[in-house]
Amino acid sequence: MPDQQKQSLLFIGSAVQFTHKGKTIRGHLLHRQGRRRFAKVIDTEERTWNVPEAALKHSGGVRRSTIVTRHDEARSDYRVGDKVTFTSRDGPRRGEIVKLNPKRAKVRCEKTCWNVPYGLLRRTGGESARNGAKRLNNVAGMARRLMEEHGLPDWTLAFVEARRRLGDCHFGDCVIRISRAHALQGSEEQIRDTVLHEIAHAIAGPEAGHGPLWKATARRIGATPRAKSYESQAS
């Protein structure tokens, strides 16, 4: 099978394997990096790898229907602006989160910034726990149920960093992506409507846009039939 045809059969969530220093690494396709022809893979130990797509092969495992990593769960309890403490080699430090990266938070301590793993952070001020990991997994469960109810059992759900859109529908990879910030901070009604909005796109197809077919589909499955200003659609 030609490489191009082989790679076209890989979707977000597909079980894949590749060779690294003579060892076979197995995991799931987490993200494609467009024209660079590299893909991000999450292995069975939750480590992430940047791998040339041409080096990936199907492993024969089951496709991952929902992508929620342990890093997603760890960071879900933190927000930009949180006051936190952590311990460096020089002792305890106190600062403010200025950016949330995939594996570490950028924390400003006076005039210096530190990249700190989420597991080493503690929030100050006596605030109660946000239970972000539980909320993220609850949203994932709700979205999966809706996707299966409306005929999308083979599609994958993923959370992304987007702040200027609530969600999007990627037809090429058969994946519905929801903004992590929206999932953590939106109301249950808003999040459900966003998921149904994207499901309607998946059902109506890439040519429908926000036209009559999509609107009719959205109404039929219970979504609000209007374009969301913070949505982008990718094919």
* pTM metric for this prediction: 0.69
pLDDT per position as a tens digit, 194-235: 999 999 999 999 999 999 999 999 999 999 877 554 454 443
**pLDDT tier at 33 (50, 70, 90 boundaries)?**
low
Task: Identify the structural domains of the chain with CATH numbers, from first to last.
Answer: 3-63 (2.30.30.140), 78-123 (2.30.30.140), 132-221 (3.30.2010.10)
For 117-156, letters b (16+ CB in 10 Å) and e give: ebeebebeeeeeebebbebbeebbebbbebbeebebeebb
Choose from 6-15, 62-71, 85-94 the range with maximum mean pLDDT: 85-94
Sign of the CA dihedral with 197 first, then 203, 209, and 211 last: negative
Average pLDDT, the chain: 84
**Residues 190-203: tens digit of each pLDDT:** 999 999 999 999 99
Residues 100 and 75: their CA atoms lie apart, in Å, by: 8
